[in-house]
A = this chain, B = another copy of it.
Amino acid sequence: MNQVILLKDRPKGKPSLKDFEFTEEEKPQPKDGEILLKTKYVSVDPYLRGRMRNEKSYIPPFEVGKPLESGIIAEVIESKNKNFEKGDFVNGMLQWKQFQTSNGNGLNKVDAERAPLKAYLGVLGLTGITAYLGLDKIGKPQKGETLLVSGAAGAVGSVAGQIGKIKGCRVVGIAGTEEKIDRIQEKFGFDAAINYKTTNNMKKAIAEACPDGVDVYFDNVGGEILDAALANMNKYGRVVNCGAISLYNKTETPTGPRVETTLIKNSILMQGFTVRDFVKDFGPAQNQLAKWMEQDKLSYLETVVEGFENIPQAFIDLFDGKNKGKMIVVV
């Protein structure tokens, strides 16, 4: 039999285990042109919370009573498709099932020789590529500028900050525990870090950590930290709106200070994006990230949870910041 995880209810506020349902189905058989996949590693990411809402977005919402999906590394255990062989590993948006079939569309083979398989869900996968392309296409950090990163200890933020260092920026990170504050400076080489949970005036804390102002703000959290960053942006500053995890579980429309006057006064750009906007750039981005890894310029951390049955809890734990780096479930 084949275990499957369904969306039972759309979460209200923070997701909980009762929003998920486990079910079993017959193990599927591949038809001509299809492959049979065995799930090996499952990525859980904050953006999945958005797909649990019944709202128009860049990707259709999950349906209640249907399987969830996310980035998954799977092994080809049977192939009736000439492009894949038994024993290949593939990466793609796949369902939360132990086994599934696919016609191969949207799947990429991954090279287990070049990097550990799990890295293709993190630093060489969508999170690393998100950091790379958010900076390359929007933030455009220049040597000597100051890059501020929120969610700096996370899978995207830690890569964004390290890229800032490679580009010659002063890099300042924001995170929510002392352990993370240490980690982003010691492991990831940030120049300074701010613990937003123990700082009562973020605007002032950013001003102190960024004495020349902020040129690029890579934002993973939104909300009041974004407000404080905006108040410190230099003329021609760029805000990369990558995520807004502080708002994802809100049940009412969040309000805050209006941004338009600030944008005009300092000629600031704010741009939202999702990594899928730049699909054609994934190959070169992954290749550059792999080179930096080989040159030891890019560190990463993973929190690895074991067991298919723990996927929902691993996802929920993201909202309590329980992960250190990329959260991955090994099946």
Partner of A260 from B222, B236, B258, B263 at Cβ < 8 Å: B222
User: Copies of this chain, how many?
Assistant: 2
- Do B261 and A267 touch (CB < 8 A)? no
User: Most chain-B Cβ atoms within 10 A of its Cβ — which of A55, A223, A242, A272?
Assistant: A272
- Do B58 and A235 touch (CB < 8 A)? yes
> Is A176 positioned at the interface, with any CB of B under 8 Å from its CB?
no
- Do A273 and B267 touch (CB < 8 A)? yes
- Do A273 and B277 touch (CB < 8 A)? no
> Is A253 positioned at the interface, with any CB of B under 8 Å from its CB?
yes
- Do A261 and B235 touch (CB < 8 A)? no
Please count how many residues in chain A sit with their CB below 8 Å of the partner chain's CB atoms.
39
- Do A267 and B263 touch (CB < 8 A)? no
Residues 252-284 of A, flagged 1 when their CB comes within 8 A of B and 0 if not, give 011111111111111111111110010000000
User: Most chain-B Cβ atoms within 10 A of its Cβ — which of A219, A258, A268?
Assistant: A258
Residues 214-229 of A, flagged 1 when their CB comes within 8 A of B and 0 if not, give 0000010011001000
- Do B254 and A263 touch (CB < 8 A)? no
User: Closest 8 CB pairs between A and B?
Assistant: A263-B272, A264-B272, A222-B260, A269-B271, A244-B260, A254-B258, A57-B265, A241-B263
User: Most chain-B Cβ atoms within 10 A of its Cβ — which of A56, A260, A273?
Assistant: A260
> Is A110 positioned at the interface, with any CB of B under 8 Å from its CB?
no
Partner of A270 from B235, B253, B257, B270 at Cβ < 8 Å: B270
- Do A261 and B244 touch (CB < 8 A)? yes
Closest B residue to A222 by beta carbon equals B260
Closest B residue to A247 by beta carbon equals B261
Q: Nearest Cβ in chain B — how far from A60, in angstroms? A: 12
> Is A189 positioned at the interface, with any CB of B under 8 Å from its CB?
no
> Is A104 positioned at the interface, with any CB of B under 8 Å from its CB?
no
- Do A271 and B272 touch (CB < 8 A)? no
- Do A259 and B259 touch (CB < 8 A)? yes
30 contacts between A and B (CB under 8 A): A55-B265, A56-B265, A222-B258, A223-B258, A236-B277, A241-B264, A242-B264, A244-B258, A244-B260, A244-B261, A247-B258, A247-B261, A254-B261, A255-B255, A255-B256, A255-B258, A256-B256, A256-B258, A259-B270, A260-B272, A263-B272, A264-B272, A266-B272, A267-B272, A267-B274, A268-B272, A269-B269, A270-B270, A270-B271, A271-B271
